[in-house]
Amino acid sequence: MKQLASILILLFLSCHFLNAQKIKQKQEFVKSSGAIEGKNIMDFEINAAIDTTIISKETYSIIKEIFPLVEKEQDKEALNLVNSIDEKDLETNQLLVVKAILEMKLDELSNSYNSFSKYIPLAKNDSIRSSVYYSLGMIDTKRHLQISASHNFEKSLELDNRNLSTIIVLEQLNFAKKDFDKAIFYCEKALKINPNLNNVWNNLGFIYQQKENHKEAQKIFSKIIKDEPEDPLPYNNRSYSNLKLGFTKQAMEDVNKSLKLFPENSYAYRNRALIYLNLKDAKKACLDIETAFKLGYREKYGPDLDLIQSQNCKN
C-alpha cells in the first residue's frame, strides 16, 4: 500500500510539472497493487483522469524538491515541503491529494481525512471522487469508525460501481461480520469485472467453506489450481473441502502438495492433523499439531487447535 501511495504521488507530481510548463492535456493512469499476507487482500485498480491547471513558479520549484524525497520514501520531509506551498496553489488543484496521501502514509489520519474531504469538490469526475471516498473509508477503518467507513465505501461504489478496491473491501467487511451472502455478492461482482483475480476466487471458495458448501468450494479451488498450479494455498484449502466431502485420499494428496510448495504453512499442518485424526492416526496428528504450534499457528489463527490437542493427544 505504501509503495502504491508513492507511485500515485509521483504521478500527481509529474502532472504538475506539465502544468508548470503550461502544457494543457489530460492524462489517464491505472496502477495495481498485489495482495499481501495470506493472499486475502486482492489486486485492486485506481483509475483517475486529471485535468491540468497552471501553478506558480514558486510551487513549481517546491515540487522539484519533493520528487526525490518521495522516491526515497522520505515522507515527513516531503510533507513539510508540501505544507510550505502557497495555500491558493495547494487547495485548488491535485497537490491537495499529494498532501492527503503523505499524511495517510505518516498515520496523520485526521489531517489526511480533512485533506481528502477538501479535495472532493475539486475532483474532475466520479471515478476520482470514488477513489477519494475509498481513501476516506480506509482512514475510518484504521480509526475503527466502522459506520463512517461503511458509508464512505458505499458512496465510493455509488460513484463508480467498477471500483475494485472498494468492492474487495466491502467483501472483506461483510465476511468479518459473517454476512457470507453479501460477501459472496461482492466477490462475484469483482470477478465479473476481472475474472482473473485468483485471490478473489480463493476468498470466494473460503466463504463457501464457512457456509459448509464444500462441493462449490472444491470446484473453485480446483479452478485456481488449474490456473496457478504452483500456488500452495488452493491445495491446502481444497484438502479441507475434500476431507469434508469424504475424499480422504485426495485430501491427503492436496495437503502434502501444499506443504511441498510451502513447508512453513502452519495451517496446512492443522489440516493434515485433521486428516490423520479422520484416519484414526492420533500419533501423526499430534505431531502435526505440535509442528503447527512451532510455526506460529496460535498467534496467526487462534486457539482452536488447543482443544483438538487436549481431546486427542497425551501429554
Q: What is the CATH number assigned to the segment(s) 127-211? A: 1.25.40.10
Q: What is the per-residue pLDDT for 238? A: 98
Q: Residue 206 has which C-alpha cell?
A: 473460503
Name the nearest CA neighbour of 46 among 138, 145, 110: 138
C-alpha distances (whole Å) from 102 to each of 27, 58, 127, 169, 190 are: 22, 20, 21, 22, 28
CA dihedral 55, 61, 62, 65 (to 10 degrees): 140
Whether 236 and 254 have beta carbons less than 8 Å apart is answered as yes
Q: What is the pTM of this model?
A: 0.76
Q: What is the per-residue pLDDT for 5? A: 53
pLDDT along the chain (315 residues), means of 10: 49 43 30 29 27 65 83 90 83 78 94 94 90 95 94 97 96 94 97 95 97 98 96 97 97 98 97 97 96 96 94 85
Whether 174 and 145 have beta carbons less than 8 Å apart is answered as no
Q: What is the topology classification, in CATH, of domain 43-122?
A: 1.25.40
Q: What is the per-residue pLDDT for 72? A: 87
Q: How far apart are CA 237 and CA 216, in angstroms?
A: 12
- Kindly give, in sequence order, each residue whose CB lies less than 8 Å from that of residue 133, ignoring residues fewer than 6 positions away: 120, 152, 153, 155, 156, 159, 166
Q: How far apart are CA 274 and CA 277, in angstroms?
A: 5
Fold match, 43-122 / 127-211: yes
Query: Three-state SS for 210?
Result: helix
Residue for cell digits 515540487? 63
Q: What is the CATH number assigned to the segment(s) 212-309? A: 1.25.40.10
Q: Where are the domains of the chain?
A: 43-122, 127-211, 212-309
Q: How far apart are CA 116 and CA 93, in angstroms?
A: 12
What is the DSSP code (8-state) at residue 42? P
